[in-house]
């Protein structure tokens, strides 16, 4: 008798995809586990086997959203090019990722609202943000050490780049007719990097 295939990962993805659709439609507060069961087509027992609560599902979605972006960041430490070139490459990747998750952006901002009330969500956001800064700051420091950037706080510069991403997306959600996601994220990061660069002779 052949062994039964392991469908655990497939079931988890099925649940998270269903939950994402439910949360986008109803919001976190109004969504119920029964709604996710109905959307997924699985039994309630199967849902609770993998996730004990709605909060656990929310955290799993949050972790999945940020996992890919952190992987992109880690790759940039060993890639070719100047610090500026690699940071702009990261920015373009982030923009591309945003286009792939447009439907999730409303959920993303619900995470920030939940962070004020739910410790588990707040800890997940803190972990992502700190990991992001811990990876980004050394890349900026490389630019400083190689005299590409002025001697500034690499950590503060990393936080500023993160703020450009998050702030521009928020403004785009509020007023997409005024804010162009691609153009303004790239312009904001480019201007910040220009301000960090060491002045070249004759260009002061």
Residue 121: Cβ within 10 Å count: 21
For the domain made up of 58-196, give the CATH fold: Tetracycline Repressor; domain 2 (1.10.357)
Question: Average pLDDT, stretch 189-200?
Answer: 91
Could you tell me the two tokens for 180? 């162009």
CA distances from 195 to 72, 142, 148 (A): 24, 16, 11
Q: Within 10 Å of residue 76's Cβ, how many Cβ atoms?
A: 19
Read off the tokens for 140: 């900026």
Per-residue pLDDT for 204 more than 70? no
Q: Is the pLDDT of residue 1 over 50?
A: no
CA distances from 107 to 71, 113, 157, 201 (A): 22, 10, 27, 48
Note the pTM of the prediction, 2 decimals.
0.77
pLDDT tens, position by position, 100-151: 776 677 777 777 777 777 787 788 888 888 988 988 899 999 999 999 999 9
Q: Where in the chain are the domains? A: 1-52, 58-196
At residue 86, the 3 state secondary structure works out as helix
Say which DSSP state 149 is in.
Answer: B
Q: 159 falls in which pLDDT band (50, 70, 90)?
A: very high
Residues 6+ apart with CB under 8 A from 86: 76, 79, 139
Contact call for residues 58 and 31 (beta carbons, < 8 A):
no
Instruction: Judge contact between 97 and 64, C-beta under 8 A.
Output: no
Q: What is the pLDDT of residue 2?
A: 45
Task: Report domain 1-52's class.
Answer: mainly alpha
Determine what percent of the chain is predicted with pLDDT higher than 90.
Answer: 42
170 — pLDDT class (breaks 50, 70, 90): confident
Residue 197 β-bridge partners: 149
């Amino acid at each position: 008798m052949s062994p039964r295939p392991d469908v655990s990962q497939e079931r988890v993805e099925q649940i998270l995809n269903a939950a994402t659709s439910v949360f986008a439609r109803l919001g976190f507060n109004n969504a119920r586990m029964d709604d996710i069961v109905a959307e997924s087509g699985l039994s309630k027992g199967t849902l609770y086997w993998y996730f004990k609560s709605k909060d656990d599902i929310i955290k799993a979605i949050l972790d999945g959203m940020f996992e890919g972006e952190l992987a992109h960041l880690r790759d940039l430490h060993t890639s070719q090019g100047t610090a500026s070139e690699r940071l702009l490459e990261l920015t373009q990747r982030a923009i591309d990722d945003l286009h792939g998750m447009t439907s999730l952006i409303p959920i993303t901002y619900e995470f920030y609202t939940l962070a004020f009330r739910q410790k588990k969500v707040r800890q997940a956001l803190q972990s992502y943000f700190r990991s992001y800064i811990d990876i980004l700051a050394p890349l900026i420091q490389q630019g400083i050490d190689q005299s590409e950037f002025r001697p500034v706080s690499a950590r503060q510069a990393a936080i500023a780049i993160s703020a450009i991403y998050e702030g521009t997306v928020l403004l785009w959600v509020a007023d997409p007719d005024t804010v162009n996601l691609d153009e303004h994220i790239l312009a904001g990061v480019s201007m910040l990097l220009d301000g960090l660069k060491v002045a070249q002779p004759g260009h002061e």
